[in-house]
Each structure stands twice: as structure tokens, then as C-alpha cells.
Amino acid sequence: MGVRAPPRLLELASQSLLQNEALAIVALEELPIELFPPLFMAAFAGRHTQALKAMVQAWPFPCLPLGALMKDHQPHLETFQAVLDGLDILLAQEVRPRRWKLQVLDLRQNTHQDFWTLWSGIKASVCSLLEPEPAQPMQKRCKVEAQVVLKPAQAPVEVLVDLCLKEDTLDETISYLLKKAKQRRSLLHLRCQKLRIFTMPMQSIRRILKVVQLDSIQDLEVNCIWKLATLGRFVPHLGRMGNLRRLLLSRIHILPRTTPDQEEHFVDQLTIQFLNLPHLQKLYLDSISFLEGRLHQVLRCLKTPLETLWITNCLISESDLAYLSQCPSVSQLKDLGLSGVNLTSLSLEPLKVLIEWTSATLQDLDLDECGIMDSQFSALLPALSCCSQLTTFSFCGNPISMAVLESLLHHTMGLSKLSHVLYPSPLESYEDVRGTLHLGLLAQLHTRLKRLLCESGRSSMVWVSASPCPHCGEQIFYDTEPILCPCYTPA
């Protein structure tokens, strides 16, 4: 076991100063700015709430990256409240302290990772947002203090946070933050770049969104089991997220008693909001029951071309696929996913046209579990061979023969950027109609594909087969060796 390094002089000095919080608070007025971060870290770890309140009010940097500190030190509720209370006291003042520079309280845990490390080691090479004002010589600083320079309290402070709404009751820290943001709405702006909504009553969601600056949301996931009418109550908020880049909607269903006119009304309510999302680049639609026959309604209101479009576990019609092949919003796709969309009974000519249309930009293509047969897949191969930017192609869960797999390999040899192919175990590797794999046959077939790759000079291309176990549903993978589920493991 390693020996723990002894505390550095700076750590000892911070701990010593905090033994008398009143003295530490008085010392803040004269404390060199480079000592603020290590002293704040010591106060946060030691739960010195009064010192934290005072340090927030005197913070000499534009940004306080509290989230990065909370990631390493699990915050006590009182400690977190002390930081917000200090900010609250600051915002209540008609004039703000001389040393105050705080503009942003960042509660996100994956930003400014190096700030506390750098400053705790007295290294000043941090990003411009976190740089303090240049330290003044003592004589000049005292002269400035004598003039009692006060700053008007007008500019609001921004709080940056990623929200995940998944239960009836919120985490206590988030609840306290929302309370403060509501109380100081004009001076404390709550900005949320990433918002995840899982399970929460709509009334609670709407109450929270009233406090959030909706134009700050760039990444939204709605992963709830919602009725279409419930989505209709949410979409007015969606239309105010003008800087949204990524949108995921999942598990929206229609009640049996919903009339066609009502259904049309709710779908129009949703799609009209897309006109207010000029920056939307990534759209994910999963398990959306109203999509069949209405894909044109959803996509026609998009204002800019998408980079990513995933339509998964949905029913779509042949007219939907035909519209998709000529929709202007998908002409520059980099990522297309149709996993779980049953294409068995559909003509794939429109999909072939779509792949050809996006061949200059398409990087990732996912056709897992689409029920694509040999003849359908063969028709797509000429279009696939044109995808010069393709890096990953996945089509697991489709009933494909070894002959068609070999044809795919030959068609894609010229795609220099294609590095990963996830393919279904070929039909010849199954023992019976129930889907039981014969591992010996699978190994032989996989070896044959690897040999063809080597003979073609593409030995570095990774081909991995994946097939669901007929008993438990878990995936069985085969690369150089099989990765089996428990059903295939000897007792």
C-alpha cells in the first residue's frame, strides 16, 4: 500500500486559517487572489459554511466552477446551501464588494476540470473565463481601497447546471437551487445546457421550466411514457428552446379513444414548434406511435439540414420512406439510424436513393433489427459502395446469408474509412428454426470472412457478428473468439 504524501505548506496554511472562521473572513479583504481557490477547497471539504458564504461574495474570478469541485468532494447539503446563500446575500446588496467579479456559478461536473488542480498548485495558466484581474502592488491597492470603489448591483449572475428529472421529488440540492432561482429570478439566471426528463408529473416539469432560461437548453431528452396529449402540454416549452441542437423523443403513444382529428391536432402542435428550432442538428425519434404515415409532417418544418436522424422502434409506411429519400433536411446526414423499423414488406428503393444521396457525408449507418432479407440487402450494396465517408455500419438482427455477407465485403473494400462492421450471424450458422447458433459453424464462417479481409488488404477492418440468444435475448458476439451468454456456458 502506498504512503500518502504529507500535506503541502499551502494546505496547512488554509486549514490553520479556517480554524478561526471569523478571522478567515476578515482576512479575505487582504488575501492574495491566488490563495482564494485553495482556501475555498479547504472550506468546502471542511464544511466551513460561514467562510464559504463570505468567499462567494468576495470571489475574484468571473466564474466559480463549483460542479468540478463537487465531483471530487461529495457535497453536504448545508455546504451547498452555504454557497447559494452567499450568492443570495450578494444579489440582495444595492452595491457589491470591491473585489467581486463573479458572473457565473458553474454547477456542471464535467467542465473546468483543471481549475482547482492548477490553482491549488499556484499555477495561473487557466482559461480566460477563470482568470482574475491582475494583482496590484500593495501600495496601489491600499490607495484604491481608500477610495471605496463600489460596483452597482445590476448585472445578473448565471448559474449553469445540467438537469435530470426522473422522480416525483427532486434532489435536495436541486430543489434548493430552484427555490433560490425563483426568489431572485431577475438577478439569478438558471441556464441548463442539457435537460433529461424521465419520470415526473407534467405539473412539476412545467413548474421547473418556468425557472429555467429555456433558450439556454441545447440538448433535450424526453424519455417518458407519455400520451400524445401530454406531449401537447409540453411542446409550447419546446418552441422556446431556440438554441436546441439535439432532441430525443421516446415512448410517445396514442390512446385507443383518440380520434383522428385529435391526433392530427396534437401532431401539428409538435411539428409547428420545429419552426422555432433553427439550430437543431440531431433528431432521435424512438417508439413514437403516431409516426406512421406522418413522417412528412414531422420533417417538413425543420429549418436546417440535420446531421443525425434516428428513427428507431417505430412503424413507418412506404410513403414515409419515399418522402425520406427526397427530404431536403436529410441531404447532409452524417448519422442515420433505422434500428427496429420493420422494412421486410417495403420496397427499399427509396432507402437506396437516400444512401446514394447522402453518400458524400454519411459516416454511421445503423440498420439493426429491420427484417431486411437477402434480396433487399443486395439491392442496397451498390449505394453502400459509394459512401466514401462511412466509418461504421451495423445491420445485426437481419436474416442474411453468407453469400450476401461476402458480397457486402467485396462492395465495401474500396471504402478506406470503413473501420467497423457489425453483422448478423449468417443463416448457415444456425442449428434450427428456433435460432440456436452452431458455434462451430459460426467460427468457420467468421474465419472465412477474416481470410477474405486479409486477402483484400483490409485486415485492420473489424468485423464482429452479433445475434440474440433465443432463450434469454442477450447478444452473442463473435470476433476472434465467441462472447457467450450464460445459456451457452457449460454448467
Averaged pLDDT for residues 1-20: 55
Of 214, 204, 350, 341, the closest CA to residue 285 belongs to 341
* 29-38, 186-195, 334-343: segment of lowest average pLDDT: 29-38
Question: Per-residue b/e over 112-149, b at no fewer than 16 CB within 10 Å?
Answer: beebbebbbeeeeebeeebebeeeeeeeeeeeeeeeee
Backbone φ/ψ region at 193: left (φ over 0), alpha (ψ -120 to 50), beta: alpha
pLDDT in tens, 71-121: 776 667 899 999 999 999 988 887 766 667 899 999 998 887 788 877 665
pLDDT in tens, 41-62: 888 988 889 999 999 998 999 9
What long-range pairs does 445-452 form, CB within 8 A, spacing at least 24? Answer: 445/402, 446/478, 446/479, 448/402, 449/405, 449/406, 449/409, 452/406, 452/409
CB 401 within 8 A of CB 445: no
Quote the cell numbers at residue 303: 429549418
Chain length of the chain: 491
Element (H, E) at 379: helix 374-384
Q: What CA–CA distance (Å, rounded) separates 271 from 247?
A: 13
Q: Is the dihedral of CA 208, 213, 214, 218 positive or negative?
A: negative
Of 262, 247, 261, 347, the closest CA to residue 301 belongs to 247
pLDDT in tens, 424-451: 999 998 887 777 888 888 888 888 998 9
CB 298 within 8 A of CB 324: no
pLDDT of residue 294: 93
Q: What CA–CA distance (Å, rounded) separates 294 from 216?
A: 30
Amino acid at 217: I
pLDDT of residue 281: 97
pLDDT of residue 20: 66
pLDDT in tens, 239-272: 999 999 999 999 998 888 888 888 888 899 999 9
Residues 6+ apart with CB under 8 A from 472: 485, 486, 487
For strands 482-483 and 475-478, give the pairing: antiparallel
DSSP-based three-state secondary structure for 158: strand
Domains of the chain (ranges, CATH numbers): 10-120 (no CATH), 218-328 (no CATH), 333-490 (3.80.10.10)
pLDDT of residue 39: 87
Q: What CA–CA distance (Å, rounded) separates 217 from 214?
A: 6
Of 211, 363, 228, the closest CA to residue 288 belongs to 228
Of 460, 375, 473, 454, the closest CA to residue 417 belongs to 460
pLDDT of residue 280: 97
pLDDT of residue 435: 72
CB 161 within 8 A of CB 190: yes
Of 11, 234, 188, 5, the closest CA to residue 84 belongs to 188
Query: In sequence order, what DSSP letters do the residues of 128-140 get, joined into one string?
Result: GGGPPPPPPPHHH
Say whether pLDDT at 142 is over 50.
no
User: At residue 483, what are phi and psi to the nearest 5 degrees?
Assistant: -110, 105
Residue 489: exposure state from Cβ atoms within 10 A (0-12, 13-18, ≥19): exposed
